[in-house]
Structure 1
Amino acid sequence: MSTLQFDDVSVHYGTQRRGTTAVDGVSLTVPDGEIVGLVGESGSGKSTLGRAAVGLAPLSGGRILLNDKPVPLRGRNRPIQMVFQDPSSCLDPRMTIGASLRETIPGRAKTDRSKEVARLLDLVELDPELAAAYPSQLSGGQRQRVGLARALGAQPDVVIADEITSALDVSVQGTVLNLIRDLQRELSTSMLFISHNLAVVRYVASSIAVMHQGRIVEYGPAEEILTNPQQPYTQELLAAIPDSVHPTRRAS
């Protein structure tokens, strides 16, 4: 069981008088084996909420629980792993892809780690021979897959994917989204999938939370949110989707 729960979580930067509340009393659950989409425009607080789950943003209030226990934020092998928008942020340009993956794999002999590197690359549909390559030799889509492989290599309970397709070409986005769906089916991964784009989220998420000005303003099954949104802000996000990819206008 791998259930992530945000319980009345707040993140405030600065002082009480002169500061910014990025996340304001958010309660949200990522159920075991499901992908929850978290959608909102830039500055809505969605990425801050994800970063708080891995200890990169300080809590001002509330709790973050994993299987009803406080999430451990220290130690090498943390149960929640994050995949960032810019994969270069987690890839050392001086290290080969294989070396970068090996450092995330817990407690294995050197030969076992080499086999695990090959398995992880194959899992994200990359040629295991790329283990000898450097990040600069890979495309943006390939680097993003390596970032995902690094997260999976730590054997996490929950993965947080933060805008992982926003910097990719549309054709590459589709490939990565298909990979996310395949991995979820194969591994039953619990995932918080963060994006500003509802058209992207609809491909992978079973439920969607809409975030605006630090708060969750709408939440429900993906199909319900996409076809019958109740909040004006959600309706605005839907209206921004081009007709060619609009969930209520696509071909069956």
Structure 2
Amino acid sequence: MSELRFERVSLQYGSLRAVDAVDLTVPAGQVVGLVGESGSGKSSLAAAAVGLVPPTAGRILLDGTDVQRLRRRDRGLQMVFQDPYSSLDPRMSIGGSIAEAMPRGVDKRAEVARLLELVNLDPGRAASLPARLSGGQRQRVALARALAGQPKVLIADEITSALDVSVQGAVLNLVRDLQRRLGLSMLFISHNLAVVRYVSDRIAVMRAGTIVEEGPAGQVLADPQHGYTRELLAAAPSRHTSLWEDAS
């Protein structure tokens, strides 16, 4: 288990400041749900953490070490994206995609089978191409691929937003189960507070590139201090939670 910390992180694209002096900590072994509307800077913050874009200012620390000093492969951070189909090579078998992310010296055939079982997929599907899988199955493959890199911290960026509600439930239940079984530290990003509150120990609310509220999930949900948090809470139907709890 590892701690991921953002210290005064800013990201600027030309004249646009996407992220503005963000301080945020993902404690070891916990899930921090980062919620906010589209364009609030959530995905930009995640992209900086995994090395896709360099921060304009500030530092991103993994267990106290600035991740910019580490090679991307050595950062111990893996990201699962919104669209699993675009993140998987359509010409490569799902087993090949998972194996590609593994470190050297691993029995790749055995590890692919173990990871597919871990995400509730039949290991016999390892030779299948992504096009032969449903959206929910492809997202399970994307999770397995991320876990193949043996991450210290997992970043999940809108991983259920393109799925039907019933399929969302199965994926969210899986994420929650994996996090608990593996003791993962996780930054879980969504525009939907109903999704975030289902999996998170802590919740951070992001608007226009800044964190406007952050705290234990129960506290933020029961007594939101910022008007924007209250807006998100009012727009998050609680009926989704019961649907997800019934999903398998």
**TM tier, shorter chain?**
over 0.9
What TM-score results when the alignment is normalised by the length of structure 2? 0.94
- Tell me the percent identity: 66
Match of 2:86 among 77, 84, 89: 89
For structure 1, the residue ranges without an aligned partner over 5 or more in a row are 248-252
Counterpart residue identity of residue 123, structure 1:
L
What is the aligned partner in structure 1 of residue 26 from structure 2? 30
- Number of residue pairs aligned between Structure 1 and Structure 2: 241
Decide whether the 8 Å contact of 1:37 with 1:209 is kept in 2: yes
What is the aligned partner in structure 2 of residue 194 from structure 1? 189
Post-superposition Cα deviations, 1:158-187, rounded to whole Å, max 9, x if no partner, equal 000000000000001000110011111110
Question: Shift of the alpha carbon at 1:245?
Answer: 4.2
What is the aligned partner in structure 2 of residue 143 from structure 1? 138
Match of 1:43 among 39, 43, 46: 39
Q: CA separation in 2, counterparts of 1:8 and 1:124?
A: 35
Judging changes above 3 Å, is the alpha-carbon distance between structure 1 residues 77 and 132 closer, same or farther for their aligned structure 2 residues? farther
Post-superposition Cα deviations, 1:86-129, rounded to whole Å, max 9, x if no partner, equal 112221011001111111111125xx110000000001111101
Question: Shift of the alpha carbon at 1:243?
Answer: 5.2
Decide whether the 8 Å contact of 1:51 with 1:57 is kept in 2: yes
What TM-score results when the alignment is normalised by the length of structure 1? 0.92
RMSD of the TM alignment (CA)? 1.4
Post-superposition Cα deviations, 1:29-60, rounded to whole Å, max 9, x if no partner, equal 00000000000000100111011101112211
Match of 1:108 among 105, 121, 124: 105
What is the aligned partner in structure 1 of residue 173 from structure 2? 178
Decide whether the 8 Å contact of 1:87 with 1:147 is kept in 2: yes
Residue aligned with 1:202, SS: helix
Question: Shift of the alpha carbon at 1:75?
Answer: 4.6
Q: CA separation in 2, counterparts of 1:4 and 1:165?
A: 23
Question: Shift of the alpha carbon at 1:148?
Answer: 0.6
For structure 2, the residue ranges without an aligned partner over 5 or more in a row are 243-248
Post-superposition Cα deviations, 1:117-161, rounded to whole Å, max 9, x if no partner, equal 000000111110110100000000000011111110000110000
What is the aligned partner in structure 2 of residue 250 from structure 1? none
Superposed, 1:1-252 pairs within 5 Å as 1-14=1-14, 19-72=15-68, 74-108=71-105, 112-242=107-237, 244-245=239-240
